Structure 1
């Protein structure tokens, strides 16, 4: 191989590595999730896609992406590797009154509700640990 062929091969390898790192960085900051079901209707419909920014700051009224709870145990402190994502609205944050009960949301937890009363949410599974909320919705597609 000539020096120019080596240089071209090296440039290709560097380009591929830079592209892979760019994708990795995008995935660390952004999350694209498809809406499944009717729990967030009318705001979000089955089949919509939601772009969420990964963050640790959530406010009442935010639409968030959260790891789905275990059907029997509710939300665990650690996300299962294959747990699907849910999209819900923050109804109350730490220290605020939980809708329907008046009890206070525990520290580092959030009370999440579906926009559609038929959806599953914190009314069934309890407040979600903040660590399981991946990010806040920025836009739907």
Structure 2
């Protein structure tokens, strides 16, 4: 009987570990050229879920689409429209007006709380240059590792 209990405990521990990993990390497959040359279409990136306060300028981040928080999105691989970009300014940083035309006329000198300025590394990217600030509630996480291609 103790062997069965031990086996059940091990299986429960493994399942709990997998659930924790899936909650803490997401795998994102890059689609499009907006992050070239850093990432090319088909590259896979491991992102650790993070809150806005853990993001720094220069970090590569994953955000959800406008109007939907990460909790309301389907899991990876189910047609989710997640976006991967580089954070160039976070709350409290100077507004990068010279790099971001959509923010050229904003009144504030620093990025307001709850907002991000995101740019793609490539020349053809839909990002803050067109839409201005991204809502920090859309943040999924920070890219932490490039995974091998399949």
TM-score for both structures, normalised by structure 2: 0.74
Q: 1: CA distance between counterparts of 2:27 and 2:3? A: 35
1:37 partner SS: coil
Of 82, 86, 94, which residue of structure 1 is paired with 2:83?
Answer: 86
- Please state how far the C-alpha of 1:135 moved relative to its aligned partner: 1.6
Task: Check if 1:35 corresponds to 2:35.
Answer: no
| Paired residues, number | 130
Q: 1: CA distance between counterparts of 2:86 and 2:121? A: 7
Of 109, 112, 137, which residue of structure 2 is paired with 1:131?
Answer: 137
Which is greater in Rg? 1
For 1:1-141, what aligned pairs fall within 5 Å after superposition? 6-56=1-51, 57-67=54-64, 69=65, 75-76=66-67, 78-79=69-70, 80-82=72-74, 83-95=80-92, 96-98=94-96, 99-100=100-101, 101-102=103-104, 103=106, 104=108, 105-141=111-147
**Residue segments in structure 2 that go unaligned for 5+ positions in a row:** 75-79
After superposition, what is the alpha-carbon deviation per residue over 1:84-103, rounded to whole angstroms, capped at 9, x for unaligned? 32110012222431422333
TM-score for both structures, normalised by structure 1: 0.78
- Please state how far the C-alpha of 1:77 moved relative to its aligned partner: 6.0
- Please state how far the C-alpha of 1:7 moved relative to its aligned partner: 3.0
Q: Is the 8 A contact 1:77 1:129 kept in 2?
A: no
- Please state how far the C-alpha of 1:126 moved relative to its aligned partner: 3.2
Q: 1: CA distance between counterparts of 2:68 and 2:135? A: 6
RMSD: 2.0
**Residue segments in structure 1 that go unaligned for 5+ positions in a row:** 1-5, 70-74
2:112 partner SS: coil
